[in-house]
Structure 1
């Protein structure tokens, strides 16, 4: 196997993930500082830990992504396609929704498992050491937890056809929601958060309650599994 090419692809993808994290988290941390001056002023040591864990997670996310990217470009692995007419145009947003629903399902159940005491201590305590979470905590994971997150999208590209641009859309949504849900305050308008759409889509108000009470609100994008399993406790009054 051409190990040099694979290593180069893994290194490039790790750099992309790290830069994406720094850009997105940095942008929303800047917004927080402007909108709520001093809100995270005393959290310097915590933020430095969050950045350190997140950059380690970037490698864990980047390595499998880089291997899959190399296989796709070199051997045609995966069901990623580039021709717009390969599938009907109506399928483009459907693929995005399928990916988000599948990822959300994987995240809900693995996240809930990691809240069992034994698993929590080994895998998830690092993430919950952020009290309160900040925009920099989006990828602040213990390596074992990072692995559970890193395999989801690379696995899906072997199962569900998706245009490369729509895959980019999925990654953009994943990045933005991962960051904004950890800012500790609600950036979206109240009328949206408390609308019919807000009853099913997760924002900072919902995820903040998870960081306050731990045993509730386990979802990533949607509230479906929390509602179905009785783990949805609504919005935090503090976000």
Structure 2
């Protein structure tokens, strides 16, 4: 189980990193969001913490398997039909985004941050390797969505597997440090509610108490926690500067995430 989950993590992080490495050597290279470069030490820490989190997930999963007599919470191996399964996948994604927003925002409380979330925020300039770069208590909180959701809704195994891969890829994109979405993304009513890389990067680099959402901007907009310069910053990052190359974009001036070393 650990090998499978660790393998998925390494593949997604490595492929995302390779895509970013390649794009930075094209005319799109100015889409790097921060001027600062993540160091080798940053990436080693992100890898170690992510692999440790996967270990926590496996222990939690085994405890659930034991508690449910071997059948575990994954007892529905069938299907409701393709259309119904896709609706369940969409519902799982929306539910997870809601869970993530409130759990994430709660872990930013001053009395909880040090123990739950500070380890993740050591990545001021995150990379795709930071997908699961959590402290152990945060890893437990992140895993808890699965048994909570499956207690409420009976979701087929293959649908949960699709969701697990979806959240892994979107997490890697959010931490890539390079804007991967097209410049029209925030101008279209069909896509502007879906988070971009810039959205989460601002949370790490300057908007410490903003942009808590994982997949969507709904909760941040509703609760007034979206970074006030998000749209402006996105426009700066995706601007076509190929005719006059400029240095890599820096974080918003005067903003710095208050993260202890």
Q: TM-score range by the shorter chain?
A: 0.7 to 0.9
2:22 matches 1:34? yes
TM-score (norm: length of structure 1): 0.84
Which stretch shows the higher mean deviation, 151-160 or 104-113? 151-160
Change in 2 beyond 3 A, CA 1:204/1:41: closer
Q: Structure 2 stretches of 5 or more lacking a match?
A: 238-261
TM-score (norm: length of structure 2): 0.77
In the other structure, the counterpart of 1:177 is 170
Q: May I ask how many residue pairs the two structures share in their alignment?
A: 224
Structure 2: distance between partners of 1:187 and 1:172: 18
Q: How does 1:52-201 map to 2 (within 5 A)?
A: 52-68=48-64, 74-75=70-71, 77-78=72-73, 80-84=75-79, 87-201=80-194
- Two-structure CA RMSD over aligned residues (Å): 2.4
What do the CA deviations read for 1:186-211 (whole angstroms, capped 9, x no partner)? 11222234322332111212111211
2:222 matches 1:228? yes
Structure 2: distance between partners of 1:231 and 1:99: 23
Larger helix percent: 1
Structure 1: distance between partners of 2:139 and 2:129: 15
| Relative contact order higher in (CA < 8 Å, ≥ 6 apart) | 2
2:10 matches 1:15? no
What do the CA deviations read for 1:120-151 (whole angstroms, capped 9, x no partner)? 22221111111211111111111111111011
Structure 2: distance between partners of 1:93 and 1:71: 29
Contact in 2 for aligned 1:64/1:154 (Cα 8 Å)? no
Q: Structure 1 stretches of 5 or more lacking a match?
A: 1-11
Deviation at 1:216, TM superposition (A): 0.6
